Each structure stands twice: as structure tokens, then as C-alpha cells.
Amino acid sequence: MNSRPGLAESSETLMPAWLDKILGRNASDTPDNRVAVRTALQSAMKARARIVLEAPQGLVAGTTIWQVTRDELVVNQPYMSGMIYPLADGDPMKISFVERSTSITAQTRCLGRVKCNGPKGPMYVYRLRLPDALRFDDRRREPRADIDPAVAPDVQIQGGRVRETIVGMLADISATGMRIHTSGSTENFEIGQELQVQFPMPQPAGPMDEVVEVQRLLRDNQLGVNVICVSFRRRLPRLESLMDMTTERVPMPLEQVQRKIA
């Protein structure tokens, strides 16, 4: 996914024109709801945005959009942790994707699997019912808490073009993403790539083990560290509860403080 240009620009400038229309910013040109849904999904298809499918039991898989029709959304074979994830006919599910820091979610259900001709031969795709509506959450407005560097937990980061593990330090966090500082090289990572992160957090969040997507890769010359900005595949209620309990800085547990001091 492309990084946000010009941080000094307003959010109005950053939003794509189709998103402005869907959100009703142009009162004289607000499209029909189903047209708005198709427009958003077609934009995600052209951008090859990663689509997250979440089943009622909490299982999460990733895919991309293959086709958008008048009444249906057709997605490529979903995968979960590198394994094929089959969808069951009739199963309800939530879909979500990110467009310019705006998280877009919707409810749908599976209409069945279809075999078709793809660029490399026969392939299977899944038909999903076109959602009735979309929900928009601007991630930049998410409550974000800093982590005291003196007691910040270590973050194990796994993945990359050549799979490797590096260690970073949690710098700040929200219910939708986090910022990591590391002295390790980030040349193995790229925007849009999926990584596995593991790190401890105080209750009610507890130990975290999540797949994230790289949003930005920066260098902070003042601190002398590389910065990895990532987003979670979906909002995490556990972190949301923790954000509700804090204001500007997340309090780490005593044992974490003692480990850092030692």
C-alpha cells in the first residue's frame, strides 16, 4: 500500500475522490448506497488491496478481489498462515481492507466456489454477496498511546522477503496498529508485506501474537533507529479496552519494569 504523502496536507486532500463521495462530503453528488459499495470494492480491486475475511468463530484469512459484479463480489482463494482456507457456502463473514489510512469493513456471506480460467490456467474463486453497506474508520483518529522507552517491551518481528527474525522495541500502539523502533536492518521488509509480531502487554490486552501489515519504513536519525509502522489485520478489542484505560502512556506491569532495570 502506498504511504501517505505530505503529512502537512489535510485529511480532505488525502482522501480519494470516490471516498469523499461515499462519505457524503459532496452533498450534491452522493451516490446510491450499492453504487458506493461497488465503487469502493472496484477501487480496492484495481489497487490489489489485501482483503481480510473474518469468520464468526474468529478465524481470519487474506485474499484479493478478482471481480465485482452488480450483486456479487468475487475473491481469489483465501489463505491463512500460508495454507489454503476454504469457505463454506452460506457462511456469514466480515470483510475489511484499508484505503489511505481509512479502515473499511462490511458484512457479507459466501455464495459458493467457482472454477474459472485464470492467467496461469484453471483456478478457484469464491462468490460473496455484495455488502449492503460499508463502515469507515479513519485510523489516524484512533486513540494512540506512547510506551515509556525505559520499560518498553521487546517485539519479536518475523518475516520479510527472506524470512528472518529481528528484535525491536514498542514505541506506541493503538487498537489498529503500532510503531516499532529497531537497531536492526529493515532492508528485508517492504510496504504491504505481512509480518508476525510477538510482544507482552499489560491486562486486559495480555500477550500479543499477531500478523501485521507494513505501512511505513522510516529512519529516525535523531534517535539512531529504524522505524517500522504496521497495522493489524483487524481492530483488536483487547487493545481497545487497554486504550480506554489509559490516556497518553501505557503503564507496563512491574515485572516488565524490573526486567528492563535488570
pLDDT tens digit at each of 262 positions of the chain: 333 333 233 333 333 444 444 444 333 333 457 888 899 899 889 988 888 888 877 677 889 999 999 999 999 999 876 788 899 899 999 898 877 667 788 999 999 999 888 778 888 999 999 999 888 765 556 677 788 888 889 999 999 888 889 999 999 888 888 999 999 999 999 887 889 999 998 888 889 999 898 888 888 888 899 999 998 877 788 787 777 765 555 555 544 433 443 4
Bridge pairing between strands 60-63 and 51-54: antiparallel
Closest CA to 38 of 102, 88, 106, 115: 106
Scan for cell 497495522, then name that residue.
231
Say how many residues make up the chain: 262
66 part of a folded domain: yes
Same domain, 204 and 99: no
Task: Give the domain range for residue 107.
Answer: 11-138
CATH code of the domain covering residue 109: 2.30.110.10
User: Residue 106 and residue 116: Cα distance in Å, rounded?
Assistant: 26
Cβ atoms < 10 Å from Cβ of 121: 6
Q: Give the predicted TM-score (pTM) of the model.
A: 0.52
The amino acid occupying position 148 is D
For residue 193, what are the CA distances in angstroms to 159, 208, 217?
9, 19, 11
Scan for cell 464468526, then name that residue.
56
CATH code of the domain covering residue 175: 2.40.10.220
Same domain, 104 and 152: no
Domain count, the chain: 2
Q: Which helix (H) or strand (E) holds 84?
A: strand 83-84
Same domain, 18 and 101: yes
Same domain, 102 and 151: no
